[in-house]
C-alpha cells in the first residue's frame, strides 16, 4: 500500500499547484426574461440617461416635432448627417479656435494641478 496515506500523514501538494475551487453546478438557474431584458446596473442606467439627453439635444437642434403632420424621419436623419458632416468640416478647418479656447482654460488648471500634486508624486 505504498500509494495510500495513513490518516496521520499530511497530504502535501506541490508548490506550483493552485488550490482547487469547488465546481459550479452543471446547469445554472436561468434568470427570468424580463430581468435579462431590462435588468441593468446603476452605471448602465446613468449611461442610458446621458445617451437619451445627447440624442434629445440633437432632436431639439433639428427642431424635430414628432406630432407635426409633415414628419419625415428619413429627411430628419439625412439633415442630421448633413449637419454632422458640416460640423466635421468646420472642425477640420477651424480646429485651432476650439483648441485655443479650451486650452486657455484647461492648460492653466492643469499646470496648477501638477504644481499642487507635486509633493505627493514620486
Residues of the chain with confidence (pLDDT) below 50: none
Q: Do 86 and 55 lie in a common domain?
A: no
Asked whether residue 84 is assigned to any structural domain, the reply reads: yes
The 10s digit of each residue's pLDDT in 43-71 is 988 888 888 888 888 777 777 776 777 77
The pLDDT of residue 120 is 83
Do 73 and 118 fall within a single domain? yes
Do 34 and 77 sit in the same domain of this protein?
A: no
- Compute the Cα dihedral for 54, 55, 58, 63 and give only its sign: negative
Judge if 83 and 110 occupy the same domain: yes
From the centroid of its chain, how far is CA 42? 12
- Supply the range of the domain harboring residue 75: 69-122
User: DSSP characters for 28-97?
Assistant: PPPPPHHHHHH---HHHHHHHHHHHHHHHHHHHHTT--TTSTT--HHHHHHHHHHHHHHHHHHHHHTTHH
Amino acid at each position: 500500500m505504498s500509494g495510500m496515506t495513513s490518516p496521520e500523514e499530511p497530504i502535501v501538494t506541490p508548490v506550483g499547484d493552485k488550490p482547487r475551487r469547488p465546481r459550479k453546478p452543471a446547469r445554472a438557474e436561468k434568470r427570468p426574461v424580463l430581468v435579462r431584458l431590462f435588468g441593468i446596473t446603476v452605471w448602465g442606467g446613468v449611461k442610458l440617461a446621458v445617451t437619451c439627453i445627447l440624442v434629445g439635444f440633437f432632436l431639439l437642434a433639428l427642431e424635430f416635432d414628432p406630432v407635426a403632420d409633415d414628419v419625415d424621419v428619413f429627411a430628419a436623419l439625412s439633415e442630421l448627417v448633413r449637419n454632422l458632416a458640416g460640423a466635421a468640416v468646420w472642425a477640420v478647418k477651424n480646429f485651432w479656435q476650439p483648441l485655443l479656447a479650451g486650452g486657455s482654460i484647461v492648460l492653466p488648471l492643469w499646470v496648477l494641478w501638477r504644481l499642487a500634486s507635486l509633493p505627493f508624486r514620486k
